[in-house]
Each structure stands twice: as structure tokens, then as C-alpha cells.
Amino acid sequence: MRQLIVAANWKMNLTRQEGIALISEVVPMVRDQVHTKVKVVLCVPFPFIGFAKRFFQSQKNIALGAQNCYYKPAGAYTGEISAPMLKSFDVDYVIIGHSERRQYFGETEEVLAEKVRQVIANQMHPIFCCGESLQTRQSGYHINFVRQQLSQSLFHLSAEDFAKVVIAYEPIWAIGTGHNATAQQAQEMHFALRQHIASVYGQEIAQQTTILYGGSCNANNAPEIFACPDVDGGLIGGASLKSSEFTNICKSFPLYKLIAD
């Protein structure tokens, strides 16, 4: 019913040679071991985008992703990468609003709304990241906080465009810390976000929206997290840099999700 996705976010890791080695391992593992209902998205660093696709040209359930793009389509913006450029390299998914970009590069909800617009205007799918800090969670305001992130950066979209968005809930306190959200915490937030989407776009679109979990997700905890009814896969950082660990995460969906229509 909903597209199941496991997306790798390699972040700013690996040299060209190391990237080629990893992708050469991951692609055949995914082909041989991962259910075809699971879409695997490899969000590689920009310099790898030109060659990465060659490794999985004929494999329908692997897609190419980028980790960011600029919010303008072209022009004198030295060092930036546009959505039309990414599209011209067969990129299908673009991570937008990762907490590291919000934190270290000062990306605001307004800028993210523009980036989302750019990605969709170029026929790609934004993987929109949201999530609260530890302080916000401890204040008990976390659900409202994350709802607001969606309202501010996504709810300007038409229903038709919103249907192209993938959401990734990534609590900041879980990213790279080894402290993943529990399955209950993930389910509670994913359910709340789905209801929030339904309040604006209706239940049908909300039920079709893929919502991923990210934050210290690994092959040990993925089965329990992916078993939650409102979790449709993961956005994987550190564990995506190890081919067999990543493949095992891609294999962590319960059977009932794989055989659903």
C-alpha cells in the first residue's frame, strides 16, 4: 500500500575509491537478498552522483539520491548544486532539511519550503527530515514541534505535490548517538504526523505517505522499529556504510508489510 523505503545517507564520508567499493558490494546484495517491494535509495555525496547510477542501471528497486540541493534553479551561487542539475544525473530522491543542515548551515523552514518546491518542480521526491532535540522532547512539546516543522515547510504544497514527499522522522538525540528511539516512541510520532497530514490533505493521502525513521537505526533494532504500523522504513547513517549491515536493515520488514497490496 505505502512504498517501503530504506535510504542510505552516506553523509560526508568515503573517498571515490571507497564509495565505488561500497556500492559494488551493496548493489548485488540488494539484488539477491532484498524483497523487490522495498525501494533502496542511495543518497551519496555530490561527487559520486555522476557515476553511482552505472552500478545499478537495470535494477528497478534501487534509486539514486542526493543529500541536499540549493533553493534556486540556477545562477551566480558559487559552490551550490541545483535541483535541475541533480535531475539531469537521474537523481530521484533528495534529502531536504536534515538536522545537520539546519544546525550547521542555518537552514530555516522558509528555505526548506523553497527547496522542497525545487525538488518537486524537477520531478524528484524530497525526503523531508524532521525531528526534535533532547531538550524539546524533555519539555514534552516534541509532537507539536515536529508537527510545526511539517506545517511550515510542506503544507504549502498542493495535494498532488504533497503525495510525492517522503517524510523522515529523525530525533536529533538519536542521530549518531547509539541511542535509537524505542519502537513505541517512533510509532507515537509517526502516528501523530500521519494524523497531522490527514487533517490537511485527508486520510487517503495520509495513508499513502511514506514515513521513515532515522537515528541510530541498525540491523539489531530495525526489525522492531519497522514492525510498527506507521513506520515505512528507515533513513540510515552510520550503518549504511557497511554493506551487510545495511542489507540486513533492508531485510527487516515484517512479512505482512511485504505482501500487502
Residues at the contact surface with ligand 13P, assessed by CB under 6 A: 9, 98, 170, 175-176, 214-217, 235-239
Q: Which residue has the cell 534501487?
A: 62
The active-site residue out of 98, 142, 190, 196 is 98
How many other CB atoms are there within 10 angstroms of residue 180's CB atom? 24
Closest residue to ligand 13P, based on beta-carbon distance: 237
How many other CB atoms are there within 10 angstroms of residue 110's CB atom? 10
Give least dist CB 213 to ligand 13P, A. Answer: 10
Which residue, 10 or 253, is less far from ligand 13P as judged by CB? Answer: 10
Determine contact, residues 234/249, Cβ cutoff 8 Å.
Answer: yes
The active-site residue out of 100, 107, 170, 190 is 170
Which residue, 143 or 217, is less far from ligand 13P as judged by CB? Answer: 217
Told to judge if 35 belongs to the known catalytic residues of this protein, a careful annotator would answer no
Determine contact, residues 4/257, Cβ cutoff 8 Å.
Answer: yes
Give least dist CB 160 to ligand 13P, A. Answer: 27
Please report, for residues 181, 190, 251, the alpha-carbon distance to residue 227 in angstroms, rounded to integers and kept in the order given. Answer: 14, 13, 12
Which residue, 175 or 201, is less far from ligand 13P as judged by CB? Answer: 175
Sign of the CA dihedral with 36 first, then 93, 156, and 232 last: positive
Give least dist CB 204 to ligand 13P, A. Answer: 28
H or E, element range at 258: helix 255-259
Give least dist CB 131 to ligand 13P, A. Answer: 9
Told to judge if 170 belongs to the known catalytic residues of this protein, a careful annotator would answer yes
Q: Tell me the three cell numbers of residue 231.
A: 513506520
Residues with a catalytic annotation lie at 98, 170
